[in-house]
Structure 1
Amino acid sequence: MYINFWYPAAWSEQLGDRPRRVRMLGQDFVLFRDSDGRARCLADTCIHRGGSLAGGKLVGDCVQCPYHGWEFAGDGRCRRIPSLGPQAKIPRRARVDAYPVAERYGIVFAFLGDLPENERPPIMEIPEYGQPGWRVTRQERFAECDYRRQLENALDPAHNEFVHPTHGFSGERDDYRVPPLNIERSTWGSGFLTTYFAPPLKDERMKSASGRDENAVIEAGTHHFGPCALTTRIHPTPEVFIHQHVFKVPVSESEVRTFLVQTRNFLLEPEHDSRFLERNEIVAGQDAEVLADLHPFFTPETNAHEFLVPADQAVLAYREKLAEWQARGWRIDARALAARGRREAFAIPSPARREQPRGWVLDSVPLLPAATAAEQGAAAAG
């Protein structure tokens, strides 16, 4: 799991007049809206005696701890300690971590990290969102799975013919082969766009809408953005597009929540949404069934423990990006966290910690050490 990225915390409509607890990166957070309707995200643990702020209530612009009534504003600072009396001066150390929040595509995103604003990676874009001629559907799914396994599955062009028989594709053809991939790389991700042999669509309405009623070669591909977001583009014809924009958040090392925003430029009437939603559930279920039986449960820490082939190029590119972010010191030390997490409370480091490193009650989550400049140079040299 990695800090310093934007993660989907909730759908916008899920934030109402009560605090909401969410678990991300193995830590608990509280989400709420202040009196101006602005979404806020704080570390959930009250620094007084460990109460859950999400179990409390909203008082003005603050969330009130249910244990002793301490009130914390959206910037993380404590505004009231009832036991000290109404005239008490609140100590500077009475604060919890507060995280930047942005709302896009109907999702509340929280930036879980300490980078200053000008250094943060952006939220993955959906260029067609809200544009005329596009229909949007949304879905959410929870799974007991290593999020990396899910990302790598999406970046794998060789599994569709075997895992998704509902696509109609087949890996049993005598001429079946995955063509060489042209891996496209960017600052925050990588991916590919390739072609697939596709038989006629079975759904008559979709067949009619796509204008394809015979065997064809379709264009499709997936690009990841950061460790947990990706876009899959499926183009049944040069004019018919389905785009799946996926935002994932690791609940823990072994659990992941997925927010899917799917866009399409055909069958735009709402009555057609159900067939796309149902199809997505079927495909996700097929993937989940296979991923549940992978061994080991977690993606191996070294490529030497798998026999990789050219069709795995996009998976390798994803792993290279993860290694790059680990070298920056952004990867949570999951083993240390698991060993100490029941006895100690931690917080994901927030931007305020970088500005003021001293005077925090809770320690930051343990992170794997960043690579030295020499180590990074050696890695870049191959």
Structure 2
Amino acid sequence: TGGNAQCLSNTCVHRGGSLADGKIKGDCIECPYHGWQYTGEGQCHRIPSLGSKAKIPGRTRVDAYPVLEKYGVVFAFLGDLPENERPPMMEIPEFDDDRWRATWINLQAPFNYERSIENGLDPAHNEFVHPIHGYSGENAEYKVGNLRLVGDGKWGPGFFHTFKSPPAETAEWRQVKEASDAREAGSGTIGPNHMWTYIRYAPGKAMHQYLYECPIDEGNVNIFLVNLRNQLIDPDRDQMVNDRNWTIISQDLAVLSKLSPTVTPPTNTKEFMVPADK
């Protein structure tokens, strides 16, 4: 409303209509069931069956949630904590730095968000899932080295490690990524569903990825990726960068969509863990 994003509960207080399936009427959302209209603050503005001059009862409102537009993404807090008690949102410190260039990807993926976070934090899967990161399991000497842990320990852990990595597959990308026996990369979380990944190709050459994952239900997640790079930053390279990221995403989708069980077990006793999983 007024050019600002708003977030309301999806359920009309009348007879449970889905407001998400309704129409925007002025600065209101109109329920598709009986035409009740709600403002961005959740207050009912019109009840057609009562007539155009009816007084609207004060309790005919739906819940409204605080919204923040930042980094090209709309965030909503669905809890009821006051602002000073809410968990932190993952920041992107280089977002406004002219030496970095941002691109965005949004997708809905058919798996549980916890499995997606596990994937992003997993240093061992790159060797087998992503040919451009590793050697597809053909390196007989492959192993995950020591993990250097980072993070404040309150809102989420993180790590960095080094690994052997092949050169990029095209001449253009090889300007950024040559073969290396000591490529450094790391990942970490802020809260349960915000995750960062830093890839350091060489001194002064890096890609920083920030994923904001919004669970839809037990088997689906809405993922927002904000990708920052400090090489090949011309806008005409944006599609090339997104194409590369889509390739990597597609490789992960092929594996994650077939995991069993689909939800992360509640204890580690249900899946055998190794040091790379810590």
**TM class by smaller structure:** over 0.9
**Other structure's SS at 1:177 match:** coil
Higher relative contact order (CA 8 A, sep 6+): 1
Give the 3 Å change call, closer, same or farther, for CA 200–57 of structure 1 in structure 2.
closer
1:254 maps to a residue whose letter is: G
- Structure 1 residues 235-244 or 182-191, which shifts more? 182-191
C-alpha displacement at 1:201, in angstroms? 2.7
Partner of 2:161: 194
Residue 270 of structure 2 is matched in structure 1 by: 305
> What SS does structure 2 have at the residue aligned with 1:167?
coil
Inter-partner Cα distance in structure 1 for 2:99 and 2:139: 37
Note if 1:61 corresponds to 2:27.
yes
Secondary structure in 2 matching 1:183? strand
Decide which of 210, 213, 220 is 1:245's aligned counterpart: 210
The answer on whether the counterparts of 2:113 and 2:193 sit within 8 Å (CA) in structure 1 is yes
Note closer, same or farther for the CA distance 1:298–1:205 as it changes in structure 2 (3 Å cut): same
Give 1:198-277 correspondences, 5 Å limit. Answer: 198-210=165-177, 212=178, 214-277=179-242
| Structure 1 residue 242: Cα displacement | 0.5
The structure 1 residue matched to 2:39, chosen from 73, 80, 96, is 73
C-alpha distance in 2, partners of 1:292/1:55? 28
Q: Distance in 2 between matches of 1:66 and 1:305?
A: 45
**Pair 1:67–1:237, CA change in 2 (3 A):** same
SS for the counterpart of 1:195 is strand
Gaps of 5+ in 2: none
Please give the alpha-carbon distance, in whole angstroms, between the structure 2 residues aligned to 1:55 and 1:310.
47
On the 8 A contact 2:160/2:186 being kept in 1, the answer is yes
Q: Which runs of 5+ in 1 are unaligned?
A: 1-33, 314-382
Taking structure 1 as reference, are residues 275 and 60 closer, same or farther at Cα in structure 2, changes over 3 Å only? closer
**TM-score (norm. length: structure 1):** 0.68
Q: How has the CA–CA distance of structure 1 residues 83 and 199 changed in structure 2, closer, same or farther, with 3 Å as cutoff? A: closer
Contact 2:124 2:276 in 1 (8 A): yes
SS at match of 2:213: strand
Mapped partners of 2:13, 2:216: distance in 1: 22
Identity score, percent: 51
Q: Deviation of residue 180 (structure 1)?
A: 2.2
Structure 1 counterpart of 2:64: 98
RMSD (Å), alpha carbons:
1.9
Distance in 2 between the 1:142 and 1:71 partners? 29
- Aligned residue pairs total 277
Query: TM-score, normalised to structure 2's length?
Result: 0.92
